[in-house]
Structure 1
């Protein structure tokens, strides 16, 4: 099997990073850890596993940080994997074998297993309305298949195609980057393939410790990114509806002193209102757009 570089973006992910890097080492992948200004033990863990380290002075977000990692990689195929994901034994070899079976595929992903044992599979994304078939019976795949969307939790991607289509959209700080990348790879004439025999475990949301501030911020970006991606592809804007509905929900949550829901709905409302006011996701995070090629 040819060498594969694995990109792991970490933001305070020390609690899950060792399991991820242990599995990558077992599979023979060369790890590149992009440290998004973590304040925990991420750097020490990456050093212990002898990973190549790219250190950022601030949290650059998912897409921008992964773009840095892919540009630093040397292998023909690159594995993009969340720090809270663990590839099972033999998974990388099976993914690489699939690249020879499906030469038109530019991105492949394993069967992803959730913490409760369920098989995560998304039949369509916001950006695949051309595949809408509401009357059909949806069945989970029992083998390899072409798909309109692959989760960004674990992706094997051809490095040259990734760079050719521009990588992840760096205007997005968080959410919908994988939807957008999948759409652009399909539009460029390549296939996305689900590889059923390759498996990975995903501890959804375990890569950073939860708190109300992070819940608010995540929901802000979810709402903002949805509005952004809709405009990018000419879809109806959801911003005003999200702003109004979530404002009322947030007020209701505060009335019953449900702080968790208040943070969720308040973040969604704030993100939608910020989009309507013209604020960018990067500006909210104190980031500047990078120059082309940087």
Structure 2
């Protein structure tokens, strides 16, 4: 990766005790763009052996905050001194498709109000993960939360996820998965980056919502394809991840319905989330 002159793209990968997937990420990234790339690895963990080995092999820079900042906080730290027009925030358990990053940058040129752009996220079996979603209404959010496990095809989940296919063109969405995001630095800085109070989960939904309110668009680019191996953190720490997910969901719920007369929504929603968390924790044992 070129380190001569200012790089047009800074790719930020937030890691926590990564494994072999980080090498796959960095290797595949080389074929994702013809532009020079500045790779920054933000290591939230306590053992950076793997991170430093990958950084040395691929000309990346390692940033160690000294504490676990979470996903959004780590991404903000990685973007803090960026002077590139484009910032990419991505999980370490991704394999980039050839030219995927170039596809998103070209799409951004076609959508000058795009603050965030996301690729088609493929599961390892080649199916498409619903990564471009609408902002959830109260009924959609409740229906999705209650029934998605036992009735995946329920109408609330279908409406919320807007299940996309690889066929079809670019479109706007309410928000895009933070597993892989191309961000226009101007837009990212205007809204203050990620809200780091979301330690994990929902920071991408919150960012997409704030970008939309600021007049920017979230654009889904299905011609850019990235495979999300997924689950590397979940497999090792499922209970902690489940609890973190539900804590962030409760935080988002309370912030979105913050008015005094909406307290029944907050109360019922938090009770429902706590009940679902208990069920999922029992199933994860």
Deviations 1:60-104 (A, max 9, x none): 110100001111322111111111112211111111111111111
CA 161–33 in structure 1, closer or farther in 2 if over 3 Å, else same? same
Contact 1:9 1:65 (8 Å CA) reproduced: yes
Q: How many residues align?
A: 249
Q: How does 1:205-284 map to 2 (within 5 A)?
A: 205-206=231-232, 208=233, 210-211=235-236, 214-234=237-257, 236-237=265-266, 238-244=269-275, 246-247=277-278, 253=282, 261-262=284-285
Q: Which residues of structure 2 form unaligned runs of 5+?
A: 1-6, 141-154, 259-264
1:216-250 per-position Cα deviation (integer Å, ceiling 9, x unaligned): 11111111111100111117322222324544776
Tell me the distance in 1 between the aligned counterparts of 2:276 and 2:97: 41
- Which of these residues, 125, 128, 140, is aligned with residue 164 of structure 2? 140
Is 1:166 the equivalent of 2:192?
yes
Tell me the residue number matched to 2:86. Answer: 77
Q: TM-score, normalised by structure 2?
A: 0.79
How far apart, CA to CA, are the structure 2 residues paired with 1:66 and 1:118? 27
2:210 to 184, 195, 198: 184
- Unpaired runs of 5+ in structure 1? 254-259, 263-294
Query: Aligned partners of 2:43 and 2:178: how far apart in 1?
Result: 18
Question: Is 1:42 paired with 2:51?
Answer: yes
1:9 matched to 2:11: no
Report the secondary structure of 2:175's partner residue: coil
Give the TM-score normalised by the residue count of structure 1.
0.77
Matched residue, 1:32 = 40
Instruction: Work out whether residues 201 and 245 of structure 2, in 8 Å CA contact, stay in contact via their aligned partners in 1.
Output: yes
CA contact (8 A) 2:242 2:280 kept: no
